[in-house]
Amino acid sequence: KAGVTQTPRYLIKTRGQQVTLSCSPISGHRSVSWYQQTPGQGLQFLFEYFSETQRNKGNFPGRFSGRQFSNSRSEMNVSTLELGDSALYLCASSPEDMDRADNEQFFGPGTRLTVL
C-alpha cells in the first residue's frame, strides 16, 4: 500500500495570508490526525477526523481548521498566518477500527510551512 501523502511538501507564505495543506491517508484508513512540530513546542496535536467528523481538537486558535472528505482525504487550513505558524505539519492516518487503543499511527512526510 502507498503511504500517507502530503502536499505540498514545502510552502512559503507571508504574514496575513492563508494556507491549505492536503493529506491523503493510507488506503482503507478512515482516521486522520494532524500535528504541528516546532523546535520550541515539539509535537502538538491539532485535530483528528474520522468519517468526515472532527472527533478531537487540540489547543490551537480558531485560525486553524480542518475537514475530511468522503474519501478520507483531509485538508487543514490556517488563516491570517503569523510568524509563529512556521512549522512542520504532519498528517497521520490510522486503521479503521477505532475501538482499538493500540492502533499505531502512520505519518506522512509533512509539509514544511515557512511564514515570512
Partner 1 sequence: AQSVAQPEDQVNVAEGNPLTVKCTYSVSGNPYLFWYVQYPNRGLQFLLKYITGDNLVKGSYGFEAEFNKSQTSFHLKKPSALVSDSALYFCAVRDLNYGGATNKLIFGTGTLLAVQP
Instruction: Summarize as ranges the residues that interact with partner 1 (CB under 8 A).
Output: 4, 6, 31, 33, 35, 42-43, 45, 48, 55-56, 90, 92, 94, 98-99, 101-110, 112
In the bound complex, what is the minimum distance in angstroms from residue 103's beta carbon to partner 1?
6
Q: Cβ atoms within 10 A of the Cβ of 6, count?
A: 20
Q: How far is the CB of 16 from partner 1 (least distance, A)?
A: 27
Strand pairing of 10-13 and 111-115? parallel
Q: Which CB, 48 or 85, lies closer to partner 1?
A: 48
> What is the C-alpha separation between 116 and 108, in angstroms, rounded?
24
Name the residue nearer to partner 1 (CB basis): 11 or 79.
11
Between 62 and 99, name the residue whose CB sits nearer to partner 1.
99
Residue 4 or 14: the one with the smaller Cβ distance to partner 1 is 4
Name the nearest CA neighbour of 74 among 11, 9, 3, 4.
Answer: 4
| Grid cell 502536499 in the structure block, residue | 7
CB of 65 to partner 1, least distance (A): 17
All three cell numbers of 95, joined, read 486503521
Minimal distance, residue 57 CB to partner 1, in Å: 10
Q: 34 is written with which cell numbers?
A: 494532524
Q: What is the DSSP string of 7-23?
A: E-SEEEE-TT--EEEEE
